[in-house]
Amino acid sequence: MDALECLRTRRAIRKYSQEPIAREILEEIIDVARLAPSANNRQAWDFIVVTNKEKLKALAEAADWGRHIADAAACVAVIVQPSTFAREDGATAATYVMLAARAHGVGSCWVAGDPSPFANRVKEILGVPASLHLSALIPLGYPAEEPHPDKRPLRSVLHWERYHA
Ligand SMILES: Cc1cc2nc3c(=O)[nH]c(=O)nc-3n(C[C@H](O)[C@H](O)[C@H](O)COP(=O)(O)O)c2cc1C
């Protein structure tokens, strides 16, 4: 799959087959995510890959909007050290995780981290100090659904030269 197809076809996948994801694929996803751009190239991130079923269940129970984590083959927690652009850095790395997964045919769906009320419980489960920023939980699994959410058409988002209401 080429890069544009990968970008165009990534969708939030919340239903997964029971097929496990090979360790090499999980490792490559993180190897790609670590190359994401970051402010001043700080790379102040860490990635926790969870594959243990009990831990996946615990994360799903903790995360109000992440019940689908229980059925995922793995879940990546993207953690960033606090800084002026921590949110942007973490969001970019999380996006790289989703796109690298898509390139391998693996589905993913962002589950909100900080400032969600459950973020501290997630950090406890994963042994992450409360002072660090939980950018996202990204459950991963081979897709068992093909969602087609509405997207705004190009003409409603593209402005040439200046903003036009
Ligand atoms: C910052 C952010 C937070 C999100 N949080 C959740 C979440 O907690 N639970 C969930 O099921 N989906 C979550 N999503 C996924 C969005 O619902 C999804 O990306 C959106 O509906 C568009 O669908 P698409 O990803 O298939 O294009 C989140 C996405 C982003 C970018």
* Per-residue confidence (pLDDT) for residue 141, from 0 to 100: 98
Q: Are 116 and 48 in contact (CB under 8 A)?
A: no
* Per-residue confidence (pLDDT) for residue 88, from 0 to 100: 98
Q: How far is the CA of 139 from the centre of ligand 1 (A)?
A: 12
Number of domains in the chain: 1
Residue 161 resides in a domain:
no
pTM over 0.95, yes/no: yes
CATH number of the domain to which 68 belongs: 3.40.109.10
List per-residue pLDDT tens for the chain, 165 residues long.
899 999 999 999 999 999 999 999 999 999 999 999 999 999 999 999 999 999 999 999 999 999 999 999 999 999 999 999 999 999 999 999 999 999 999 999 999 999 999 999 999 999 999 999 999 999 999 999 999 999 999 999 999 999 998
Whose alpha carbon is nearest atom 29 of ligand 1?
Answer: 110
Could you say which DSSP state residue 16 is in?
B
Give residue ranges with CB within 6 A of ligand 1.
Answer: 11-12, 14, 65-66, 109-112, 147, 149
Residue 150 resides in a domain:
no
Q: Judging by beta carbons within 10 Å of its beta carbon (0-12, 13-18, 19+), is residue 2 exposed, middle or buried? A: exposed
